[in-house]
Amino acid sequence: MQSRGRNHRTVFLVLMRTAWVLVCAAVLVASGLAWSTVSSISTGVERSYAIPDDAPRSSSGRNILIMGLTTRLDLHGEPLPDDVLRRLQAGESDRGGYNANTLILLHLPASGPAVAMSVPRDNLVPLSSGGEGKIKEAYGRAKIAEEDRLRAAGTHEKRTLERAGREAGRRAQVQTVSAFLNQPIDHLVEISLIGFFHIAEGLGGVDVCLKNATKDPLSGADFPAGRQHLDAGQALSFVRQRHGLPGGDLDRTRRQQAFLSAVARRVQDADVAAVQAMIDMAKQDVVLDARFDLTEFARRLPSEVRFDTLPVEGGAHVGGQDVNAVDQAKVRAKVTELATAPPPPPPDDGIPCIA
C-alpha cells in the first residue's frame, strides 16, 4: 500500500506543473492523478463526435477549444437539484440557455509554452448556420434548429432530442470559431456552469486578488478589495460577474483567466484525496471529443501556459443587441502571433490583482 501511495503521489507532483490546462476541465485534472485512473475516466466521461475524423488538423501543434456553457441543466437536459441551484446563485434552471459564454482556444505547440487565447463572447461574426450573430450563440442556435428538425420528423423523446441538439451545437460552435480564427480545431472540451462550481468545490475554494471592492446582485458578487479566499459559490459569482466592472464583459474574460490560474495554484497544494474527488465530479460535468486521448495528452503537456485575450475594435449596436465589433484580419494575425510567440509570463510576485 505504501508503494502504491508513493507512486500516486509521485505522478501527482510531477503533473502539478501542468495543472493550468488540466483544470480547464476537471476530468483533465483528474487524469494527472495517476496513470491507472485514465482508463476509468475515459469510459466515464461523455464523448462527442462533433469533430469528424476527416476534419482539418493543426500542423503546428494542437488546438483545443474549451467551451463553458451557461446552461443550468445537466448533460441530459434535466434541472439541477434545488439545493445545488441555490448554491450556484445563478437563478432558476430555465435560465442561461445554451450560449458558450466561455470560449478559449488552447494552442499546444510542438515545443515551448502553450497559450490560452480567450475569444470575447459578444464578437459579431458569421455563424456556421448562416447570417451573423454573437460568437457565443452558435451553439444554442444550432441546438434549437436540430431539435426542431427532429420533432418535425417525429422524434419527441426528451433525452434523444437533448443529445442530438447538443451535438449539433458543438459542431456549430467548433465550425464557427474555426472559421473566424482561420484555425483548425483538433479537440474540444465542454463544461457547464456546474462544472466550474465543482472544480472550486473539490479544491476547497480558490484565492484571488481584486484592485477594488465590487458588488453585483445579478451574479451574486460581493467582494472587498485585496487578496481573499472564495468558496465554490463565490468563485462562480467571480467568473460570472460583468456588471459593475470598468471593462464590462472583457473584464469577465480576464476573471475567467484569473480563476484558471487560481485553480492551478490551488491544485499545487491539494492532497490526492481532493483531486481524486474531482474525478467523480468530472464524469457528470465534462464532455470531450471522441478522439481525445487523455493518456497521450497528459504525457505531452508542456510545462507552461500563458493567457491572452483576442482583440476587439470596440462596441457596436446591431439588430437591437450590443456586440463587439471585430477586425477579422487583426484577430487572425493575433492568433498567429500568439501561436508562434506567446506573451511573456506574468511577474512571479504572488497573486496578481485584477479589476
Q: Interior CA angle at 11 toward 9 and 14, to 5°?
A: 105
How far is it, in rounded angstroms, from Cα 279 to Cα 37?
Answer: 9
What CATH number corresponds to the domain at position 303?
3.40.630.190
Which residues touch 273 (CB under 8 Å, ≥6 apart)? Answer: none
Residues 219/240, Cβ–Cβ less than 8 Å: yes
The pLDDT score that the predictor gives to residue 147 is 96
Backbone φ and ψ for 128, nearest 5 degrees, come out as -65, -25
User: Is residue 154 predicted with pLDDT exceeding 50?
Assistant: yes
- Assigned domain for 296 exists: yes
pLDDT of the residue at 135: 97
Examine the pLDDT at 12 and tell me if it is beyond 60: no
Comparing CA positions, the residue from 268, 308, 348, 251 lying closest to residue 114 is 308
Whether 56 is in a domain gets the answer yes
What does the pLDDT average to over 206-234? 90
CA–chain centroid gap for 355, Å, is: 21
Q: Is the per-residue pLDDT at 240 higher than 70?
A: yes
State the chain's mean pLDDT as an integer: 80
Instruction: Indicate the range of 23-27, 153-157, 180-184 predicted with least confidence.
Output: 23-27
What are the residue ranges of helices labelled H in 110-209? 138-152, 158-181, 193-202
Q: Specify which residues 48 forms β-bridges with.
A: 289
Would residue 350 count as lying in a domain? no
- 3-class SS of residue 292: coil
The answer as to whether 33 is a domain residue is: yes
Has residue 23 been placed in a domain?
yes
Please report which confidence band the pLDDT of residue 164 belongs to, taking 50, 70 and 90 as the band edges: very high
> Could you read off the pLDDT of 311-332 as tens digits, one per residue?
999 888 787 888 899 999 999 9
Given a cut of 80, whether residue 159 has pLDDT beyond it is yes
Residue 276 predicted with pLDDT over 70: no
Q: How many CA atoms within 13 Å lie on the side-chain side of 139?
A: 27
Number of independent structural domains in the chain: 1
Q: Is residue 345 part of a domain?
A: no
Which helix (H) or strand (E) segment holds residue 322: the answer is strand 321-325
Residue 28 has pLDDT above 60, yes or no: no
pLDDT at 64 over 50: yes
CB atoms closer than 10 angstroms to residue 249: 17
Average of per-residue pLDDT across 122-145: 94
Contact between 193 and 93 under an 8 Å Cβ cutoff? The reply is no
Q: Which of 71-80, 88-97, 181-190 has the highest mean pLDDT?
A: 181-190
Quick check: is 105 in a domain?
yes
Q: Is residue 351 part of a domain?
A: no
Residue 91: pLDDT band by 50, 70, 90 thresholds? Answer: low
| Cα(326)–Cα(324) distance, integer angstroms | 6
Cβ density class 209-237: b for 16+ within 10 Å, e for less: ebeeebebeebbbebeeeebebebbbbbb
What's 92-139 look like in SS3?
Answer: CCCCCCCCEEEEEEEEEECCCCEEEEECCCCEEEECCCCCEEEHHHHH
Q: Each residue of 282-309: pLDDT tens digit?
A: 567 788 899 988 667 766 666 677 889 9
pLDDT band at 111; cut points 50, 70, 90: confident
8 Å CB contact between 137 and 127: yes
pLDDT at 140: 94
Lowest mean pLDDT among 31-40, 96-105, 165-174, 269-278: 31-40
Q: Please answer whether residues 141 and 119 qualify as being in contact, where contact means their C-beta atoms are separated by less than 8 angstroms.
A: no
- The overall longest dimension of the chain from CA atoms, in Å, is 64
Cell of 194: 456546474
In terms of residue numbers, what domain contains 70? 2-340
> Which pairing describes strands 314-318 and 321-325: parallel, antiparallel, or unpaired?
antiparallel
C-alpha triplet 13, 205, 78: angle, nearest 5°: 105
Yes or no: say if 244 and 216 are a contact pair by the CB < 8 Å rule. yes
How far apart are alpha carbons 137 and 24 in whole angstroms?
Answer: 21
